[in-house]
Amino acid sequence: MRVAPAEYFGFLNEIKDVSLPSAHDFCAGVPAGTLLETTIMNPTTTSTSMLRGKELTRRVDIGALPKVLLHEHLDGGLRPATVIELAAELGYKGLPTTDPGDLADWFHRGAQKGNLPEYLEGFEHTIAVMQTPETLERVAFEFIEDMHRDGVVYAEVRFAPVYHTARGLTQEEVIRSVIRGLRRGEKTYGVEWGLIVCAMRHMKKSLEAAELAIRSRDEGVVGFDLAGGEEGFPPKKHVDAFQAIERANFNITIHAGEAFGPKSIWQALQFCGAHRLGHATRLRDDIEFLPDGTMKLGRLAQYILDRRVPLEMCLLSNLHTGACKDLESHPFGVFFRRGFRVCLNTDDRLMSDTTMTKETTLATEHFDLSLNELEKLSLNAMKSAFAHFDQRIRIIFDRIKPGFAAVRTRLAEEERQG
């Protein structure tokens, strides 16, 4: 079968956002004149495509699937052993223990108190050991190494440089140190990345952070974020920073709707011009569930659905911070099945004791997802990444689609062999 040029189907793929892979999805990005062989054309894949939930995780190595991570905090994902080693190097005496296992347990217990302020307390220790060029570079390198081991092919990681100047570094030096580690990690492991600069809600330095992000965009910074506790610190108080980002034709993601309601999401979109939303679990408050089982979307939810605003969802973190009381009440499944552009993320791997493999496995088993739906989640994330268009397309058709196609081929072969 002959296919049209990649640009044509790539454009269709961008605007359609169908829930399951279509012929266009499979054709997109294949050079003209190439013989296309896909699972959609292979009758032996019918039963494998029906694998869902726990049966899917039993048959498929979730860790090996190509995944995309858009929401992870650099200072929330250190290895416990690294925290201990860096504390010793820097003479930091504040750790509660110097045993890696015990320290991991301490971070995990602290993160499960059910509210965001207490969840964030552990960052005092991770930030304390990220104060020199060498420690920042090491943490960034190990982040990429961890992504490689977790099956992540593209990752965006965020942090607030202002927190890493206690030993005299400038924020520019902080950024450069992190980027050195990310670049070294990419060279070693092949995981592509983007760095997001965070401003903090409770500080009056958001414009400074925005200008830093803009100055660093050619070095690997891909966007700007507003993080920290939402209550009492609405996004609109930082509108000058977001206007600077918009004037620079740059990218915006905002933590919104995690610990506060739809008003925070609305301000992030309409006052600050957010292109993506971090968490957005409280968007469920703008959705009415009718007696017949259907949903009535409020104006905000309808806008987000219609505009394909990406939602960076983090299952375990949302439980630990109290954004959701349990998985049964988590809106991920509702949002995904209704067609919102959602993706899975880790948020803070150390604090929540999680990985992309763990989040994906949890989502697969709890929400009864299929392999097609897991591919859709990876595609959602890659389409929504702040990487340039050509890079996004390349990763989709060189890494994500071939990775899932290989799994389908293996499953089909296993079935043929009985």
359 is catalytic: no
Grade residue 110 by pLDDT with cuts at 50, 70 and 90.
confident
Helices 401-416 and 371-384 meet at what angle, rounded to 10? 170
pLDDT greater than 80 at residue 21: no
Q: Catalytic pick from 156, 258, 365, 375?
A: 258
Q: What is the pTM of this model?
A: 0.89
Distance CA 356, CA 162 (A): 27
Whole-number mean pLDDT of the chain? 89
Q: Tell me the β-bridge partners of 344.
A: 313
Q: What is the 8-class DSSP label of residue 398? A: I
Q: How many CB atoms are located within 10 Å of the residue 92 CB?
A: 15
Grade residue 8 by pLDDT with cuts at 50, 70 and 90.
very low
The 10s digit of each residue's pLDDT in 230-252 is 677 788 899 999 999 999 999 99
Q: Which of 1-10, 62-71, 317-326 has the highest mean pLDDT?
A: 62-71
Distance CA 128, CA 252 (A): 27
**What integer pLDDT is reported at residue 230 of this predicted model?**
67
**Residue 273 has which token pair?**
């011009």
* Average pLDDT value for residue range 118-146: 94
**What integer pLDDT is reported at residue 213 of this predicted model?**
98
**What integer pLDDT is reported at residue 47 of this predicted model?**
67
Distance CA 136, CA 140 (A): 6
pLDDT greater than 90 at residue 185: yes
Q: Which CATH number fits domain 63-78+114-120+129-397: 3.20.20.140, 3.40.50.150, 3.40.50.720, 3.40.50.300?
A: 3.20.20.140
| Burial of 388 from C-beta contacts in 10 A (0-12 / 13-18 / 19+) | exposed
Domain range annotation of the chain: 63-78+114-120+129-397
pLDDT greater than 80 at residue 46: no
* Average pLDDT value for residue range 209-236: 91
CA dihedral 402, 404, 406, 407 (to 10 degrees): 170
The 10s digit of each residue's pLDDT in 290-331 is 999 899 999 999 999 999 999 999 999 999 988 899 999 999
Q: How many CB atoms are located within 10 Å of the residue 389 CB?
A: 11
